[in-house]
């Protein structure tokens, strides 16, 4: 998908997010890491979190070498107390959060026939893919309401729009995220807060999905990051509520 990626290096103007503070969950690898890089390149100060300490440190070093204002914090986004600390640390060190990217998500445990799944697998996927969005958003929203503005962008999947065999728990989590996003958008638009959802198709990352992917027929993490930047940098009088992102070549 080199054609898509090269096309996605322009259009969104440089430094269009200067002065804004973004928080990205699941930002130490894959789609999240690409989002952090893109937002920082557009001038935002970016805080990101993940569970793996070494991966966080390595990602932070790579970002800092570019001169970006970056904060990496180990956080379990399924635990409300850790989220409170994440938000507090971000706002103390970088400033008030005006962009939230709910990207943290897993696939492992979410694939397989429903009769083969366990309660533990259900809880793990739902807590990471859906409950964490509720927790993190709820921690950030009061400040956005007080400031009468902000952007919340949830990273879902086309699996939140389509069903397939073996997708029981994963699809349920993403369909739930679609509904949550739509309701959040209606709850918050009166405060100048825009809530959007981005639904990528298959992406070439370390994400554990349904099997190996042909790199020529999937999206790149940078393609998703470009869509996020486009949504975050749009004019103040409107908002893009939902983006479906597909590779040109069909699998």
Assess contact for 232 and 46: CB atoms under 8 A. no
∠ CA 188-194-199 to the nearest 5 degrees?
115
DSSP bridge pairs for 196 = 153
- DSSP state letter for 13: P
CA 18/CA 238 separation, integer angstroms: 20
Q: Which long-range contacts (CB under 8 A, 24 or more apart) does 88-96 make?
A: 89/47, 90/21, 90/23, 90/47, 91/21, 91/143, 93/47, 94/21, 94/45, 94/46, 94/47, 94/69, 95/21, 95/45, 96/21, 96/143, 96/147
User: Of residues 48, 111, 170, 226, which has the active-site annotation?
Assistant: 170
Residue whose C-alpha is closest to residue 36's, from 59, 15, 20: 59
Residue 170 is a catalytic residue: yes
Residues designated catalytic: 170
């Amino acid at each position: 998908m080199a054609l898509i990626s090269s096309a996605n290096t322009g259009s969104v103007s440089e430094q269009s997010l200067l002065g804004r503070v973004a928080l990205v969950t699941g930002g130490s690898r894959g789609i999240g890491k690409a989002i952090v890089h893109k937002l920082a390149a557009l001038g935002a100060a970016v805080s990101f979190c993940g569970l793996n300490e070494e991966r966080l440190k390595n990602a932070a070093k790579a970002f800092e070498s570019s001169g970006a204002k970056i904060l990496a914090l180990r956080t379990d986004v399924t635990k409300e107390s850790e989220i409170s600390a994440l938000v507090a640390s971000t706002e103390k060190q970088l400033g008030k959060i005006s962009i939230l990217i709910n990207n943290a998500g897993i696939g492992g445990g979410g694939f397989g026939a429903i009769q083969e799944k366990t309660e533990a697998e259900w809880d793990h996927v739902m807590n990471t893919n859906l409950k964490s969005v509720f927790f993190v958003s709820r921690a950030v929203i009061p400040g956005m309401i007080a400031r009468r503005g902000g952007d919340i962008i949830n990273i879902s999947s086309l699996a939140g729009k389509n069903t397939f065999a073996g997708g029981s728990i994963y699809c349920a989590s993403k369909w739930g995220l679609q509904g949550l996003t739509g309701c959040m958008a209606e709850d918050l638009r009166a405060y100048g807060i825009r809530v959007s959802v981005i639904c990528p198709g298959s992406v070439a990352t370390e994400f554990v999905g349904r099997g190996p992917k042909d790199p020529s027929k999937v999206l790149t993490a940078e393609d998703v990051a470009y869509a996020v930047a486009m949504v975050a940098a749009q004019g103040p009088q409107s908002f893009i509520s939902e983006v479906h992102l597909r590779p040109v070549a069909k699998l």
